[in-house]
Structure 1
Amino acid sequence: MYFGLTFGRKVLLKKADVWLRCMCSVSKNDIKPLEYIRNIGISAHIDSGKTTLTERILYYTGKISKMHEVKGKDNVGATMDSMELERQRGITIQSAATYTIWKDHNINIIDTPGHVDFTVEVERALRVLDGAVLVLCAVGGVQSQTLTVNRQMKRYNVPCLAFINKLDRLGANPFKVLDNMRSKLGHNAAFLQLPIGKESNVKGIVDLIHRKAIYFNGDFGDIIEYGEIPEDMKNQVEEKRMELIEHVSNVDEILGEMFLEEKTPSEKEIKEAIRRTCIKKQFTPVLLGTALKNKGVQPLLDAVLSYLPNPGEVENYALKETDNGKTEKVLLNSSRNGSHPFIALAFKLEAGRFGQLTYMRCYQGKLSKGDTIYNFRTSKKVRLSRLVRLHADQMEDVDEIYAGDIFALFGVDCASGDTFILDRRLNISLESIFVPDPVVSMSINPVNTKDRDNFSKAIARFTKEDPTFRFQYDSDNKESIVSGMGELHLEIYAQRMQKEYNCPVNLGKPKVAFRETLVSPFEFDYFHKKQHGGQGQYARVIGILEPLPPNENTNLDFVDETSGPNVPKQFIPGIIKGFKMMAEKGLYSGHRISGVRMRLLDGAHHIVDSSELAFILATQGAIKQAYEEAAWQILEPIMEVEVVVPTEFQGPVMGQFNKRSGIISGSEGTADWVTIYAEVPLNSMFGYAGELRSLTQGKGEFSMDYVRYSPTTPETQEKVVMNYLESTGQLQAYLDAKKSSNKNL
């Protein structure tokens, strides 16, 4: 069996030699210069081939000796899908880290999930990466989760390459995918390669920069052969090469001047221009291939080295508190000489075989085994007995870690997003990770009461590992509630409790995270006074509660517009606290208040009897007054749903969206398949997976992503309110009061 590399016309190396070379080059004392390090993530919509691509990368770089498939038909499964549930379902649930060597470069790779329910795994991966590979399906193109991943890359300023995968599939059209990237994602993108052949007849790719055809031969595509461009493609190659130069020239001054002067840039000048613009996120190089058929992966690895930044080319900032209490940004130094203070971010927690495993990214300085580090948030210290590099569920001990490295520690008590420092006097921290709010809640309880201890252990572990998985006890309904990003998210954790803790659980009917908001502004003037011997309570708050614009209806806002001494500034935090406490559970339907701004205009205090508690109670009283006198409405999460079905089922599928109160926003497709886009309330989407399967004879697929909160229909609003009143025992009193008011009318 042989292994091929991309340099030379046809180079054959025994795989055993490559394996030995890779193992030797990751010795414990190996300190690579920054220029030889890449930290990348593989991100995409679900089922675009991320994990398959990562498996090929590990194989071609000699990290693994045999490739396995995602579905695990050989009862092994992909290397990066180390969890049993991942192999059973054929999906990635947790992001997994690994490292490998390609052309003497260290590449740290994080393979992320594609399903929206596990979006926090993508968030924390992109937070610590310097570059990414955005994988797109040659048939599906830009899909709903592709848009989400694209937004996440923008949030963390991560430059990316695009890899259009699955060229071998029926209906593959990379040219349409490129158009989607430009129109839907807003990328200034162009091909670096073109396919030789179509669909199942894809033979290889053409490198536009070097004007060479590349073929992937051998049983596993590991023998690279370069050849001349096919005659029937020469005109197309020149046309697309010029298009590439034009797109790069538009955002690069050096190449732009050459283009205007009608000079022909060399291959080296084109590659340097692509690198400059890619790092600045002004241009996205597009590569092609089919990971499953072992084509196009090695050139992608070359592109990672050529165009994505090393840790020294990315500006990373920390936050430092100044003497006057303000926060300023400080640029970190990523040099690997170890002369700067150590600072790292914990971005992922996982229960390992030897206790809690904490994934970290070192941004500055050096860390050695035996050092003592401090958690900036808690000030707790921990002495390091072990430093490891990760390869999926395997690990390798190392003695030292430098800036730019991704590593892991054992037994560190922390939360996701904590900053760690070596010098406790260093008053500096890193920006944490964006965590989206859960959108689905379900009741949960162990099947057997004797499993309560295991249930508690599982909940404690999972809520610590995953900030989007939350647990609370509802004292009104006397039930335990778990919240997450979707039905699949909660279902996976229920299965993990049974498999990992021997604690089967029952999940109740899903509950949607509705919100309550004001319909129109309400002026309040609430006076709280209580005297019962000793110091009393005295507080008055005057102001306006007003709804926020629709694009801000998930926020809460407080504005202090007071002037003068009527409400002393030391009581303002108490008013804010009272407002937020009431917002946790509204009185209309029991859901959180959002989309409301509280403007404090005036008030009154007493020199002796006023306190923070008095102003908390006064604020709560003002909110209760608003519930009695103002108009309120229920908001519900709206999901963007994308369904791919055979054309023959288009009518019934669109009809189902209408029944579910959905609005169809568009459709596109070919003669055989159609993609339907719709916006549907999450409350109407439960059970849709089974319905779609029955409607389309099991051929339909769908995905959905959160878009916004919008007012519910009057019918849904009344149902939600009635359910809440019934659960709290207030329904009969409400119906009696309503009946009485109708009689008076």
Structure 2
Amino acid sequence: NKMDRTGANFANVVKDVRQKLGAPAFPILIPIGAEENLIGQIDVVNQKAIIYSDDEKFGSKYNVRDLQGDEIATAKAAYDELLDAACSADDELGMIFLEERPITPVELKAGLRRAVIANKIIPIAGGSAFKNKGVQYLIDAVIDYLPGPLDIAPQKGHVIDEPENEVIAVPDDNGKFIALGFKLWSDKFGRLVFFRVYSGCVRKGDTIYNPRTRKSERVGRLIQIQASVHKDIDCCYSGDIAALVGVKDVRTGDTFCDESLDVLLEPPTFPEPVISMAVEPKTKGDQEKMGNALQRLSEEDPTFFVKTDEETGQVIIAGMGELHLEILCDRLKREHKVETNTGKPQIAYRETLTIPADGEGKLVKQSGGRGQYGHVVIKVRPGEKGSGVVVENKVVGGTIPKEFINPAKNGCIEAALNGIIAGYPVIDLHIELVDGSSHEVDSNENAFKMAGIFAVKDALKKAKCILLEPIMSVEASTPEDYQGDILGDLNRRRGKIQGMDSRGTTAILRAEVPLAEMFGYSTAIRTLSSGRASYSMQPSHFEQVPSQIVEQIVEQRGGSK
């Protein structure tokens, strides 16, 4: 896309996809021209040129002509490369090639489709969505090469509360209805829930069931959306995507199914937020309005979180980066008419332990009448990276009664939300409940929950905990004249340089930099390069915070290490 933009270079993109992503990428639609001279595409399979008109509707009209001049050599080289890759990836095409029979465009397309579905070839098309040049042939390529619902393995789910009881959603219009809500969106029609049907079909007037909420709702209106066009439909079949209007209490990743089923499909996974900031309305009268708007935005965007800080009472919003939160604050203003003030963003630090340890928690209260008694003994150890907090029951002999195991587990999980260094959540923590004791009269769920909290706090004090900070993978593109200044600036920001490449007169710098050091970087890089450099960043991993910085963080949080 964006072949009409200044500096667009299709060959460089193909090269980068192959080198950086290691993908077997091959052009099927090569742009003719670039930037303001973009006029069409070369159809590699059919060896034709598609030329788009430059009328007021941009490229809505086009005509197909024979190749001319340099286009002939470009198309021939791309065709030979594509044919060679397709014959190597697909047995049927390979046999035709070995038998020295001519391969027709229809046979090549069929072979390419099989190779693409097997993930052996990645087709690439170049064009401009803004100028509408290449869109029609791109849609054709989606039909020709990408898999339909019957070409891939069926979606799997499980019966709710029974993860081992697997359910397969076979793409069959006559099967029982199973669908997944993958996006929420608010517009002039109200709240739309985009969903994909994996099995069966759903019609207007049907009743669908949400296993998460255990509630059923009637389908009042079904909409098929194509860009800005909303088309009412009566039925949505297996493999189709549509939108529901007016469904209440829905989250991204919810399953919808037939009332006779109680199945959960695997929801999409989303990364944890890496940055947070305080937000408040400019006028007190907008407090409730802002709360409703933030709730709606968090429902639409699963990577956006809203919470209230219990200590300060501030509303904290968290997301994937500085730009992400800036855009959401702008949406508050534009879409919901709420003016806000924002505080300095806070980093989503984490804590973890480095050695195994034992912990014991006991709650004993006796103040007249029925008392409180809970006693839990645990072992903690570092868990696998990305495992979060895992609590395992290893109690034998009934020293903790069965009805108090879950409250003790819940207490352990709650305790891990606030670490002992600076009160940040503890990650990659494996907890084993190993022993405890109970009282026939005074023991209750709350007592064992509190005992679980005390036990985890006790264990963490002995487990040599460390503070972790989010590290961002940063790629900066700059003219070579400014390479040294930007390199020096990244080093000052505690960055670790991972590599440097040259692309013509442009230097590409790749580094890993702590998120805490990246605030205001967009302004800094523009200043250093006279506005000619740009950068992108994405969350990479967590790393231990240097000890001198830990002290500053603890001081800011009002704690003591």
Residue 360 of structure 1 deviates from its aligned partner by 2.3
**Residue identity (%):** 36
Which residue pairs with 2:145 in the alignment? 307
- Give deviations 1:175-203, integer Å, cap 9, x for gaps: x4333323322322223345556777666
Structure 1 counterpart of 2:23, one-letter code: H
Match of 1:655 in 2: 488
Please, which of 621, 625, 640 is the counterpart of residue 458 of structure 2? 625
1:252 pairs, out of 75, 84, 90, with 90
- Give the CA deviation at 1:664: 1.2
Give distance in 1, aligned partners of 2:17 and 2:447.
56
Shift of the 441–288 alpha-carbon distance from structure 1 to 2, 3 Å rule, reads closer
Q: CA 1:619–1:396 in structure 2 vs 1: closer, same or farther (change >3 Å)?
A: same
Question: Using the alignment, how far apart are the partners of 2:197 and 2:268 within structure 1?
Answer: 15
Equivalence for 2:449: 616
Other-structure match for 2:432: 599
1:242 matched to 2:80 = yes
| Residue type of the alignment partner of 2:319 | G
Quick check: 1:640–1:706 contact (8 Å CA) kept in 2? yes
Task: Give 1:604 shift.
Answer: 3.6
Q: Structure 1 unaligned runs (5+)?
A: 1-47, 50-164, 735-745
- Are 1:318 and 1:428, in contact at CA under 8 Å, matched by a contact in 2? no
Q: How far does residue 631 in structure 1 lie from its aligned partner after superposition?
A: 2.1
Q: Distance in 2 between matches of 1:454 and 1:258?
A: 67
Please list every run of 5 or more consecutive structure 2 residues that lacks an aligned counterpart in the other structure. Answer: none
Amino acid at match of 2:64: E
Q: Which amino acid aligns with 1:308?
A: L
1:347 aligns with 2:182: yes
Paired AA for residue 591 in structure 1: Y
Task: Deviation per CA, 1:74-125: give whole Å up to 9, x if none.
Answer: xxxxxxxxxxxxxxxxxxxxxxxxxxxxxxxxxxxxxxxxxxxxxxxxxxxx
Q: How many residues align?
A: 557
C-alpha contact (below 8 Å) 1:346/1:416 kept by paired residues: yes
1:265-414 map, 5 Å: 265-291=103-129, 295-321=133-159, 326-335=164-173, 339-413=174-248, 414=250
**Aligned pair partner of 1:577 in 388, 410, 416:** 410
1:223 is matched with 62
Match for residue 692 of structure 1 among 507, 525, 530: 525
Provide, for residues 246-303 of structure 1, a one-character-per-residue CA deviation record: whole Å limited to 9, x for no partner: 3223332222334455554332221111111212322211223455566444332321
Which residue, out of 327, 341, 364, partners 1:492? 327
Q: Which residue of 2 aligns with 1:456?
A: 291
Give, as a single letter, the amino acid of the residue that structure 2 aligns with 1:279: I
Provide the residue aligned with 1:644 in structure 2: 477
- 2:26 is aligned to 190
Change in CA separation of 1:498 and 1:294 when aligned onto 2, cut-off 3 Å: closer
Partner amino acid, structure 2, of 1:172: N
Query: 2:47 and 2:479 mapped to 1: Cα distance?
Result: 38
Post-superposition Cα deviations, 1:33-66, rounded to whole Å, max 9, x if no partner, equal xxxxxxxxxxxxxxx53xxxxxxxxxxxxxxxxx
The residue aligned with 2:9 is: 172
CA displacement, residues 668-692 of structure 1 (integer Å, 9 cap, x when unaligned): 2234222211111011101111111
Q: AA paired with 2:533?
A: G
CA RMSD of aligned residues (A): 2.9
**Higher relative CO (CA 8 A, sep ≥ 6), structure 1 or 2?**
1
Which of 218-227 and 500-509 deviates more? Answer: 218-227
Say if 2:25 and 2:121, in contact at 8 Å, map to a contact too. yes
TM-score (norm 2): 0.90
For residues 129 and 6 of structure 2, the distance between their equivalents in structure 1, rounded to whole angstroms, comes to 11
Task: Supply the distance in 1 between the matched residues of 2:473 and 2:200 (Cα, whole angstroms).
Answer: 44
Which residues in structure 2 correspond to 1:497-646 (within 5 Å)?
A: 497-533=332-368, 535-549=370-384, 551-552=385-386, 555-646=388-479
Q: In structure 2, give the amino acid aligned to 1:666.
A: G
2:556 match: 723
| Partner residue, 1:207 | 43
8 Å CA contact 1:312–1:334 kept in 2: the answer is no
Where does residue 432 of structure 1 map in the other structure? 267
Task: Measure, in 1, the Cα distance between the counterparts of 2:207 and 2:344.
Answer: 48
Distance 1:395-1:694 versus aligned 2 partners, 3 A rule: same
Letter in 2 for 1:576: K
Contact kept, 8 Å, 2:329 with 2:340, in 1: the verdict is: yes
Shift, 1:559, TM fit: 3.0
What amino acid is the match of 1:223? Y
Q: For residues 547-580 of structure 1, give each alpha carbon's deviation from its aligned partner in whole angstroms, at most 9, with x where no partner exists.
A: 235x43x622223344443344443322321111
Structure 1, residues 399-445: CA drift from partner, whole Å, max 9, x if none? 33322332222221022222223x41222332222122211111111
Native 8 Å contact 2:353 2:460 kept in 1: no
Relative distance call for 1:225 and 1:350 in structure 2 (3 A) is closer
* Rounded Cα–Cα distance in structure 1 between residues aligned with 2:28 and 2:152: 24
Q: Distance in 2 between matches of 1:352 and 1:236?
A: 45
User: What is residue 445 of structure 1 aligned with on the other side?
Assistant: 280
The alignment status of 1:181 with 2:17, answered yes or no, reads: yes
User: Following TM superposition, by how much is the alpha carbon of 1:307 offset from its aligned partner in structure 2, in angstroms?
Assistant: 0.8
Tell me, yes or no, if the aligned pair for 1:206 and 1:229 is still in contact at 8 Å: no
Supply the AA of the counterpart residue of 2:166. Answer: E
Q: For the Cα contact (< 8 Å) 1:245–1:270, is it kept in 2?
A: yes
Corresponding residue number in structure 1 for 2:514: 681
Structure 1 residue identity aligned to 2:513: V
C-alpha separation in 2, matches of 1:291 and 1:263: 38
- CA distance in 1: counterparts of 2:508 and 2:336, whole angstroms: 41
Is the contact made by 1:643 and 1:703 (CA closer than 8 Å) also made in structure 2?
yes
Matches of 2:130 and 2:335, distance apart in 1: 32
Distance 1:687 1:323 in 2: 46
Bigger drift between 648-657 and 448-457 goes to 448-457
Does residue 1:418 correspond to 2:254, yes or no? Answer: yes
Question: Are residues 585 and 325 of structure 1, via their aligned partners in 2, closer, same or farther at CA, if it must alter by over 3 Å?
Answer: closer
